[in-house]
Amino acid sequence: MSVDFGPAGIPFMTEKEYNETFETHKSSCSPSAWNPRAWGRKRWTGALLGISVIVAAVVVPLTVVMANQYPSYQRLEYSLVDIYSGERFFDSFDYGNGTEATHGFTNYVTKDGAEWSNLTYATSNEAIIRVLPRDHTGAAGRPTIKILSKQRYTHGLFIFDIGHVSYGCGTWPAIWMSDTDLDIWPSHGEIDIIESVNQGNKGTQFTLHTTNGCEMSVKRKQTGKVLSNNCLNSTNYNMGCAVRGAPDSYGEELNKNQGGVYAMEWRTAGIRMWFFPRNRIPSSISIGKPEPSEWGIATADFPSTKCDINSHFKNHKLIINISLCGDWAGAPSVYNEEYGCQMECTEYVGSMPEAFKDAYWSINSIKVYKAPNS
């Protein structure tokens, strides 16, 4: 077969060949090619494959970016603004009194009652806060202490030098921060810095409690064990979003090691907490110029990725207390089963005064630092 060429070497087509070629291309470009109702299985398969490729190209990188979001904890210049220490330690606090909102077998005494029964006292080196260790329990519960700072805080770096933590069956000690107005809580949040129950041999818990809209199912940099991610107070039996430290971060083991230092940094980027045993306290803390950027990975990290820290936490008082029994420490699943404590909690607390000889806080100092633009 010979092929004729037209001008410029272009192959020459007969009229028949031209018409056949035109009809072929016409069918492929007809309106039905763009009408899904006219598509066959082959065309549908190709279209779906193309859509899948496009979606994957968009969604996968976006998912990776979101999973790796993390706030910038750039260095801040902190300055000391408050110190709680020495013989005047308790002058900076008000005393709570009465019973506990968490249904504890707890009778918080007034300042006069605390001084009379020697439940709070301070020396040049330490402040003591304790449960009454003798037989004097009324219907409301065993006498104990709750103090609240007169000063309020929004943001800051808080350093707690603790010589001895309270522990023992039936106890629920905590050092925490919150706006305690009854018509506010937990609208302004709660930050639990040191908290445990009963023997406390599982380590301290670092916890946030908030209203809705504060989640921690995000990238975090911490050494502690995550117990829950939703900070909404009404979830997980009011657990909030909790992280547990190592066993030596609380209880008898901590006390045998002469205590340690807990630090909490609260800023727009997030809330971070550390625990340092006595023999591993950072030098920047020891010399009074704390620098979190030098401390390594936090024990508990609560970044602002899915939680607007500034809207959930504000106007807090510093609170120190030792509750007894109640919703957490006294729950049978915790008191009896998890910790192996004997009797029913309120019966034990009411009838065993000698068991509370170790139920006290010894606080060497609390220092509060602030930074501009935090």
Among this protein's residues, is 195 annotated catalytic? yes
Report the amino acid identity of residue 50: G
> 23 and 15 in contact (C-beta within 8 Å)?
no
C-alpha pair distances (Å), 358 with each of 98, 132, 165: 23, 11, 8
Sheet holding 241-244, edge to edge: 93-95, 146-153, 316-324, 171-178, 190-195, 205-209, 241-244, 225-226
Beta-carbon contacts of residue 301 (< 8 Å; ≥ 6 apart): 220, 221, 222, 243, 270, 272
190 annotated active-site:
yes
How many other CB atoms are there within 10 angstroms of residue 30's CB atom? Answer: 11
Of 70, 57, 26, 22, nearest to 221 by C-alpha is 70
Provide DSSP, 123-151: -SS-EEEE---SS--BTTBEEE-EEEEEE
How much helix, strand and coil, in percent to the nearest 5, is found in the chain? Answer: 30, 30, 40
Q: Say which of 100, 126, 195, 265 is annotated catalytic.
A: 195
Active site residues: 190, 195
